[in-house]
Amino acid sequence: MPFAHITGWGMYVPEPILTNDDISKLVDTNDQWIRERTGIRERHIARENEFPSTMGVEAAIKALQVANLAPTDLDLIICTSSSPEYIFPATACIIQDQIGATKAGAFDLQAACTGFIFATNMGAQAIRSGSVKNVLIVGTEVLSRFVNWKDRNTCILFGDGAGAFVLQASEEPGGVMSAVMHSDGSGADSLIIPAGGSHHPATEATLREGRHFMQMDGKEVFRFATRVMGRAVTEALEQVKMTTDDVQWIIPHQANYRIIETAAKHLKMPLDKFVINVERYGNTSTASIPIATVEALQASRIKPKDKIVFVGFGGGLTWGAMVVEWTGPLPVKKHVHPAQYRLFARLRSFVRRAIRFIEGFFSRKEL
């Protein structure tokens, strides 16, 4: 049975930064309150011409560069987002087209902020089953467009960004060792965008009442997060007969510094074993775990053979954890340039649209 290794990683955050002081000009809040309750100082906000797909493409190309893998070698793309481009088509398909992953099946996975753990586990399981070899996982968010900038309970928390992993099959032991995934739909109302789906389609009333924005019971989510994080870590470790002593790094979903601090206490682990960057990005939902991972790698904190636990939680309610033995890129002889495929991808996309148009024109004549 092949092992699923994380062989590539990439991140992208939009340039514009929104500080706590900037937010204090929009709602009744202040820098000190936000820092004390959340640990967040600033977050990145997408420009008007940036979307989950465009940011996801940037992160994906970087991840493919690290893995030294051509987009045409991808078998599967799973995109996970709490702020997808459309209800359908899947953001994954747009990314597939833009990077030129001509062979890959692509779909979206929705598990709110836990999405990256669920998606990475699904990608790893597809590799373990032997049905695919190369998988791209993308977590990408423009949550700033679903935040009510008049609601101080939520607008202080979220930021935009994207992160990606490449997973590859190898007979060498290592990579994704275990994972747990959990859900509790009885808490669905705790973190929700109530309108815009088929339950409450868009109407004048839903727009007027601001029901297309995120709504959150902050205290409830805080209690839930602190309850499940430690448990999920222990459960994933038990599956491979490991304890927290065997672990070099915990990379948690970056929602709130105090939530991470409480999880560390529950696990009786020192906080310096946790990768934390919520201060500079806020909560980037599905992108937060890969962004934190990329930054830890850039700072040379993570070494090959390190045991890492990824742990996340979010709307649904959902939560999960994953134990990984870190490997890095697989040895390869050839050198590929994934970014060069983008030009080819754009041309291919244009030609396919043109063919579709011409086919449509002639088939209309025939009817």
Ligand X SMILES: CC(C)(COP(=O)(O)OP(=O)(O)OC[C@H]1O[C@@H](n2cnc3c(N)ncnc32)[C@H](O)[C@@H]1OP(=O)(O)O)[C@@H](O)C(=O)NCCC(=O)NCCS
Active site residue ranges:
113, 253, 283
* Nearest distance, CB of residue 352 and ligand X, angstroms: 38
Dig out the tokens for 348 from the structure: 């291919």
CB nearer to ligand X: give 219 or 353: 219
* Nearest distance, CB of residue 308 and ligand X, angstroms: 20
Contact in structure between 38 and 258 (CB atoms under 8 Å): yes
Count of CB atoms within 10 A of residue 176's CB?
Answer: 22
CB nearer to ligand X: give 167 or 255: 255
Q: Give me the residues that bind ligand X (CB under 6 A), please.
A: 29, 33, 37-38, 113, 152-153, 156-157, 191, 216, 218-219, 221-222, 255-256, 283, 314
User: What whole-number distance in Å separates Cα of residue 346 and Cα of residue 349?
Assistant: 5
Instruction: Show the beta-strand stretches assigned E in the chain.
Output: 3-12, 17-19, 42-44, 76-80, 105-109, 134-141, 161-170, 175-183, 191-192, 215-216, 249-252, 307-314, 318-325
Alpha-carbon separation of residue 306 from 271, 321, 323 (angstroms) = 17, 16, 10
* Nearest distance, CB of residue 287 and ligand X, angstroms: 12
Give the count of alpha carbons within 13 A of 147, CB side only.
25
CB nearer to ligand X: give 167 or 216: 216
Q: Which amino acid is at 235?
A: E
* Nearest distance, CB of residue 61 and ligand X, angstroms: 27
* Nearest distance, CB of residue 268 and ligand X, angstroms: 23
CB nearer to ligand X: give 100 or 315: 315
CB nearer to ligand X: give 37 or 307: 37
Contact in structure between 66 and 329 (CB atoms under 8 Å): yes
